[in-house]
Amino acid sequence: MYGIVDCDNCYVSCERVFRPDLEGKPVVVLSNNDGCVVARSNEAKALGIKEGTPYYQVAEQFPHEKIAVFSSNYELYGELTSRVVSIIRQEAPAYFRYSIDECFVYLNSSLFTPHSSLQKWGENLHNRIWRSVGMPVSIGLAPNKTLAKIASKLAKKFEVYRHCCIIDNDANRIAALKWLPVEDVWGIGRRYAEKLHALGCRTAYDFAQHHKDWVRMTFNNINIIRTWQELNGEDVVPNEQLAKKKSICTSRSFNGMIGCLRQ
């Protein structure tokens, strides 16, 4: 069973660790030169502030809103997210830090039966990170990395999951794919999303329903084929592909995704 632990609105959450008075209020973080918005709180998103909006336009478009604005502080963000990872490494037998705010984990599902035990593990991890660091995280668990990413989106979106969503059967998988727009599938970029839309694929489920031969002939791209396979429940995305996608330093990485044990 794979999982991904994703810091919610990472840069904003880091700023709120030292400004808890901003909880529930619109907050944005700007790029290095304070040129544009690179991170938004849920409240800022609800106002309609888009990622990439130039800073000067925020004041022009929302003159009557009290929006907290921060310059990027990557040293702070790196320090706090490293604390999150240090907790993850204690709770998971193997992990791979995918980006500054995301960490893949591997769990032996045989140690987490029934389903409620796995759910409890995720909830406990969220609670420990929140108590120790003050950072909210969303956790997705599934038989492969692509479905785990989808599960984390559900955990982030819907409170009913209590910060941890598990896709562990076909019924849950199909429901998740029907919910997710195809452009939001991990591994499908803007260009491929536009092509899929033109071909009538609006959701991840629409794409997954096609035959593998159709996918191969239409795209002739191994990464898209692997994405299709994972949407259909296979486990095929190699760990080397993860390492190439994000260039970060990690103290411990997967060895075949299961060979990296706690020290």
List per-block mean pLDDT (blocks of 10 residues) for the chain, which spans 263 residues.
Answer: 96 96 96 91 95 92 92 95 96 90 88 79 97 97 97 96 96 98 94 96 98 95 96 88 41 36 28
Q: Which pLDDT score is estimated for 260?
A: 32
* Distance between CA atoms of residues 260 and 184, nearest Å: 30
Q: Which pLDDT score is estimated for 136?
A: 97
* Distance between CA atoms of residues 185 and 237, nearest Å: 14
Q: Which pLDDT score is estimated for 143?
A: 95
Hunting for tokens 């029934």 — which residue is that?
114
Q: Which pLDDT score is estimated for 93?
A: 86
Give the strands of the sheet with 102-106, arranged side by side: 94-99, 102-106, 2-7, 137-142, 164-166
Hunting for tokens 């910060």 — which residue is that?
163
* Distance between CA atoms of residues 239 and 171, nearest Å: 27
Q: For the packed helices 115-133 and 74-91, what is the interaxial angle rounded to 10 degrees?
A: 140
Q: Which pLDDT score is estimated for 33?
A: 85
Q: Which pLDDT score is estimated for 113?
A: 67
Q: What is the CA radius of gyration of the chain?
A: 19
Q: Which pLDDT score is estimated for 240?
A: 55
Q: Which pLDDT score is estimated for 261?
A: 29
Q: Where are the alpha helices (DSSP H) in the chain?
A: 10-18, 42-47, 55-61, 74-91, 115-133, 145-157, 170-179, 190-198, 204-208, 212-219, 222-231, 239-245
Output the pTM of the full model. 0.87
Q: Which pLDDT score is estimated for 124?
A: 96
